[in-house]
Amino acid sequence: MNNVFAIKRFGALVRKECREFFGNFGLTVLSLTGTYVIYLLASLLSSSPPGILSRLSLIIVWTGFALVFAPSKVYGTANHKKMGLSYVQLPSSALEKTLSMFVVSYLFVTLSMLVSLFAVDTLFYLLFPSHSSGFLLTGSYSMFSVKTFFDLFVIQSLFVLGNMVFKRQKVVKTFAVLIGFVFLLSFVMGLIVKAIGIEVVERWIETVLKDFPQEIEPGRIVGMRGLRLWTAESPLIRNIVIITDIVRGLVVASCWLGTYRLIKTTKY
């Protein structure tokens, strides 16, 4: 049954795991929502209300935290030698379990966090309109783009794989591996820059910045509009962005394929 997919059986598995979700992860959702409430209440003591951008940024960060911890909280025992027996004995195929893991640990977690945080923010706006810089939902569309959700998905995919690879301290060990990889990549890039020559790299950067559109403020380059405009104006930057997106897509595919293989082949 490892490679079989039946929509009825898959639906039953998703419903089962969604029912168990709040028992496994509900406290984490409430805790993160509670810290956002504290942030909003603390802003009442300030003379200037928190801006829409700062509130949206905090909501994205809090959702990211939830996605990082969700796999180990919801599926932490899936690869345990003893406690994982109940998971492996579920009447579902490895493919169905992998897809259900995506639905619950990404879609359901993201939806739960956004609904909770936006509900709290809306209530705060209605109760204290003079201490709020605006209704959050009216200014959230530019921040919550497809790219934002994909960025969160990339991060979460790494921790989904880490949850199935490591037996204990899953989040900590996954963080350690990622930090080690970043250091290794930085070391390799440093060797490449040294081999090419710093002067050559500086000239290349100057050439790239010449294509920087004058209408974009330097401080706004991280914004989506500025980045899109710069990408459209510079073929080099456009190619770099395309390559980066392809690499991230391959990382996501590799993480979920690895998760599927581990679910399918783990021995208990």
Hey, where are the domains in the chain?
7-165
As a whole number of Å, the end-to-end CA separation of the chain is 17
- Whether the CB-CB separation of 1 and 89 falls below 8 Å is answered with no
Sign of the CA dihedral 177, 178, 181, 182? negative
**Cα–Cα distance, 211 to 106 (Å, whole number):** 38
Give per-residue pLDDT as tens, 136-162. 766 555 567 788 899 999 999 999 999
For 61, 171, 180, the CA distances from 175, given in Å and listed in that order, are 16, 6, 9
Tokens matching residue 198: 């710093």
Over pLDDT 90: what percentage of the chain?
48
pLDDT above 90 (res 46): no
Tokens matching residue 79: 């690869």
Give the distance, in angstroms, between the CA of residue 32 and the centroid of all CA atoms in the same chain.
15
pLDDT recorded at residue 53: 83
Model confidence at 133, pLDDT cuts 50, 70, 90, reads: confident
Give per-residue pLDDT as tens, 63-122. 999 999 999 999 998 888 788 888 888 888 999 999 999 999 999 999 999 999 999 999
Please give the mean pLDDT across all residues of the chain. 84
Among the residue ranges 1-10, 123-132, 242-251, 257-266, the one predicted with the least confidence is 1-10
Average pLDDT of the segment spanning 129-142:
69
Residue with tokens 């962005």: 241
Within 8 A by CB and 6+ apart from 194, the residues are none
Give the distance, in angstroms, between the CA of residue 161 and the centroid of all CA atoms in the same chain.
13
pLDDT recorded at residue 98: 94
